[in-house]
């Protein structure tokens, strides 16, 4: 039985089924059908679902989304977060379609595979089949199940043992809609075998000003000793809906380092689930967001410590103005065998308006007795003492407020390992403050 909210997307699957990447592969067809059936039975999540308690997708149901076409869109200038020449590999997707004419892929050495999912399914489908749909179980996540059914193109990155990609890999997702609202479902797969290293940068932007729904999913598998720096900028337009689901599996002594900045979209949700599977595995989940007007920004994380001596650090900072609303749901689970685990989680929000709101729900579930775990959540206005100090030194109130906000957010960016990326994140803060 298909729920009412799910029916338009089920119909879209029927219309797109023959054109999706990997058509003709029996294992992928089975995976898609299972995802569609699961989504049809669950429907779009509602606030009655505990993990969606503070985020309502009702506005999404009121939009009639059409079938995207990325090949026909003209792009004059590519948005980039990196200085010229800083990236040798750039993949561009427009409305979920890979654009070879806009992308740049350097001739790669043995053991390094960078390309689009569609190309990977044509060139080596058995390699993709080893991981696609196996890292991210979509049983209880309806939008992940929807992505599995309608998964379009996306990044495939696979590094062999000991391989290192020295320059960042930039992946640009452009949503271009005018009169017709568009929905697309990117699917990314990142597999780093033992001792390999990479930096991946996602950049999500909009063109045209129309309504778009980007429902992306990313599966990450890090072998023993692997290192992945994964950075994301979400700066889509005011009519965009953005939902991102990331599942990462981290092996022994491997490290997953994630940072995301959200400042666009009418409604956005970034959900990250990390399984620390090997001794010494660790992850950093950090982020910043800036929202105003009636924007809604949801950050939901789950970190599972499954074996001894694993660690995680989470720090998320946000600034809210006008009637904007933010959500932080962070959950750390320490399983019974995960002795000597170390997990810390912190959410800090600055509210610039009496009507701005944040709902914070940090959680610890600990089933082991030899652990170090903590969590915290704070929300408040600008520091009035600091504001008074700056004004007493001659700064007008406006510049003084902007200086304090910038300092609050800049702290979350300073730990980014990719130094070439920091100026772009800092510039985005300054640009957001200029429009205040």
pLDDT tens digits, residue range 170-202? 999 999 987 889 999 999 999 999 999 999 999
Count Cα neighbours of 132 within 13 Å in the Cβ-side half-sphere: 34
Convert the pLDDT of each residue in 328-361 to its tens digit.
999 999 999 999 999 999 999 999 999 999 999 9
Residue 20 in any domain: the answer is yes
The better pLDDT of the pair 74, 433 is held by: 433
Query: CA 60 → CA 6, 212, 234, 294, distances in Å?
Result: 11, 10, 18, 15
Q: Identify the band that residue 158 occupies on the pLDDT scale cut at 50, 70 and 90.
A: very high
Q: Which of 256, 278, 300 is the endpoint of a domain?
A: 278
The Cα angle at residue 208 between residues 205 and 212, in degrees rounded to 5:
60
Would residue 264 count as lying in a domain?
yes
Residue 221 per-residue DSSP state: E
Question: In DSSP terms, which residues pair with 305 in a beta bridge?
Answer: 276, 334
Q: Does some domain include residue 334?
A: no
59-73, 153-167, 317-331: the lowest-pLDDT one: 59-73
Same domain, 103 and 220: yes
Residues of the domain holding 85: 4-278
Query: Which of 123, 229, 235, 245 is closest to 172 using CA atoms?
Result: 235
Within a domain: residue 315?
no
Mean predicted confidence (pLDDT) in 61-68: 85
Residue 291 inside a domain? The answer is no
Domain count, the chain: 2
Q: pLDDT-derived band of residue 83, with 50, 70 and 90 as boundaries? A: confident
Pairwise CA distance, residues 70 & 90, whole Å: 17
Q: Is residue 390 part of a domain?
A: yes
Does residue 2 carry a pLDDT above 70?
no
Helix (H) or strand (E) holding 218: strand 212-222
Q: Report the C-alpha gap between 150 and 254 in whole angstroms.
A: 31
- Which residues have CB under 8 Å from 6's CB, separation 6+? 39, 40, 42, 43, 44, 142
pLDDT tens by residue, 294-317: 999 999 999 999 999 999 999 999
pLDDT band at residue 366, thresholds of 50, 70 and 90?
A: very high
Domain end (from 214, 245, 278): 278
**What's the whole-model pTM score?**
0.95
- Residue by residue, DSSP assigns 63-86 as S--B----TT---SS---SS-TTS
- Kindly give the interhelix angle for 7-16 and 142-150, rounded to the nearest 10 degrees: 20
Same-domain pairing of 200 and 65 = yes
Instruction: Give the pLDDT band (50/70/90) at residue 71.
Output: low
Residue 435: band (very low, low, confident or very high) from pLDDT cuts 50, 70, 90:
confident
DSSP state for residue 161 in the 8-state scheme: T
pLDDT of residue 75: 83
Q: Do 222 and 192 meet the contact criterion of CB atoms below 8 Å apart? A: yes
Shared domain for 137 and 268, answered yes or no, is: yes
Same domain, 170 and 41: yes
List the one residue out of 235, 73, 71, 208 whose CA is nearest residue 153.
71
Q: Determine contact, residues 142/44, Cβ cutoff 8 Å.
A: yes
Question: Which of 11-25, 40-54, 248-262, 413-427 is predicted least confidently?
Answer: 413-427
Q: How much is the average pLDDT of 23-38?
A: 95
Q: Is the pLDDT of residue 93 over 70?
A: yes
Element (H or E) spanning 39, and its range? Answer: helix 26-42
Are 164 and 34 part of one and the same domain? Answer: yes
Residues 72, 209, single domain; the answer is yes
Q: Does any domain span residue 327?
A: no
Contacts of 347 (CB under 8 A, 6+ apart): 316, 317, 328, 330, 358, 360, 362, 376, 377, 378
Q: Identify whether residues 388 and 274 lie together within a single domain.
A: no
Domain's final residue, options 278, 301, 322: 278
Q: What is the pLDDT at residue 416?
A: 84
Continuous segment of H or E residues that includes residue 121: helix 117-123
Q: Are residues 41 and 165 in the same domain?
A: yes
pLDDT tier, 373 (very low <50, low <70, confident <90, very high otherwise): very high
Positive or negative, the CA dihedral 401, 406, 409, 410 is negative
Q: What is the mean pLDDT of residues 35-49?
A: 93
**Domain check: are 132 and 9 in the same one?**
yes
The answer to whether residue 45 scores a pLDDT higher than 80 is yes
What local confidence, expressed as pLDDT, does residue 70 receive?
63
C-alpha to C-alpha distance for 199 and 82, rounded to whole angstroms: 12
With pLDDT > 70 as the criterion, what percentage of the chain qualifies?
Answer: 98
Tens of pLDDT along 413-429?
A: 887 877 788 899 999 99
400 and 274 together in one domain? no
Q: For residue 109, how many other CB atoms are within 10 A of its CB?
A: 9
Neighbour count for residue 69 (Cβ, 10 Å): 14
Please choose, from the candidates 121, 147, 148, 138, the residue with its C-alpha nearest in 3D space to the C-alpha of residue 32. Answer: 148
Measured at the CA of 201, the angle between CA 198 and CA 202, to 5 degrees, comes to: 140
Distances (CA, A) of 24 to 32, 125, 349: 12, 11, 48
Q: Which of 55-64, 369-378, 414-423 has the lowest mean pLDDT?
A: 414-423
**Spatial distance between the Cα atoms of 361 and 344, rounded to a whole number of angstroms:** 14
Q: In angstroms, what CA-CA distances link 417 with 2, 199, 413, 427?
A: 46, 9, 9, 17
pLDDT at residue 4 in the model: 61
Summary mean pLDDT of the chain: 93
- Asked if residue 299 belongs to a domain, the reply is no
- Give me the pLDDT at residue 229, please: 97
Q: How far is CA 94 from CA 3, 99, 373, in A?
A: 30, 7, 42
Find, among 26, 57, 268, 42, the residue nearest to 146 by Cα. Answer: 42
């Amino acid at each position: 039985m298909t729920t009412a909210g799910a029916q338009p997307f089920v119909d879209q699957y029927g219309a797109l089924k023959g054109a999706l990447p990997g058509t003709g592969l029996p294992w992928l067809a089975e995976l898609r059908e299972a995802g569609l059936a699961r989504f049809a039975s669950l429907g779009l999540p509602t606030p009655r679902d505990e993990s969606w308690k503070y985020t309502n997708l009702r506005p999404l149901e009121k939009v009639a989304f059409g079938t995207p076409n990325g090949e026909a869109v003209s792009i004059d200038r590519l948005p980039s977060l990196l200085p010229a020449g800083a990236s040798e590999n750039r993949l561009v997707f427009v409305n979920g379609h890979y654009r070879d004419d806009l992308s740049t892929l350097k001739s790669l050495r043995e053991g390094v595979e960078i390309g689009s999912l569609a190309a990977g399914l044509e060139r080596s489908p058995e390699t993709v089949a080893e991981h696609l749909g196996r890292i991210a179980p979509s049983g209880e996540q309806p939008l992940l199940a929807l992505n599995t059914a309608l998964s379009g193109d996306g990044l495939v990155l696979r590094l062999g043992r000991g391989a290192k990609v020295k320059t960042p890999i930039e992946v640009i997702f452009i949503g271009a809609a005018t009169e017709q609202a568009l929905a697309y479902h990117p699917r990314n797969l990142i597999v780093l075998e033992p001792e390999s290293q990479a930096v991946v940068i996602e950049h999500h932007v909009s063109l045209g000003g129309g309504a778009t729904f980007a429902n992306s999913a990313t599966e990450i598998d890090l072998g023993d000793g692997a290192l992945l720096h994964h950075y994301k900028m979400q700066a889509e337009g005011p009519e965009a809906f953005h939902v991102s689901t990331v599942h990462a599996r981290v092996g022994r002594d491997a490290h997953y380092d994630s940072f995301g900045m959200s400042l666009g979209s009418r409604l956005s949700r970034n959900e990250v689930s990390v399984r620390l599977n090997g001794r010494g595995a660790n992850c950093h989940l950090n982020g910043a967001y800036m929202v105003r007007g009636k924007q809604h920004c949801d950050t939901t994380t789950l970190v599972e410590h499954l074996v001894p001596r694993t660690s995680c650090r989470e720090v998320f900072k946000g600034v809210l103005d006008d009637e904007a609303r933010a959500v932080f749901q962070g959950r750390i689970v320490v399983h019974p065998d995960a002795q000597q685990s170390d997990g810390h989680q912190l959410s800090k929000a600055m509210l610039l308006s009496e009507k701005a709101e944040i709902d914070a729900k940090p959680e610890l579930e600990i089933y082991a007795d030899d652990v170090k775990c903590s969590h915290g959540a704070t929300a408040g206005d600008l520091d009035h003492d600091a504001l008074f100090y700056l004004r007493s030194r001659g700064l007008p109130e406006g510049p003084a407020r902007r200086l304090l906000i910038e300092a609050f957010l800049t702290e979350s960016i300073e730990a980014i390992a990719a130094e070439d990326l920091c100026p772009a994140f800092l510039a985005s803060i300054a640009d957001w403050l200029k429009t205040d």
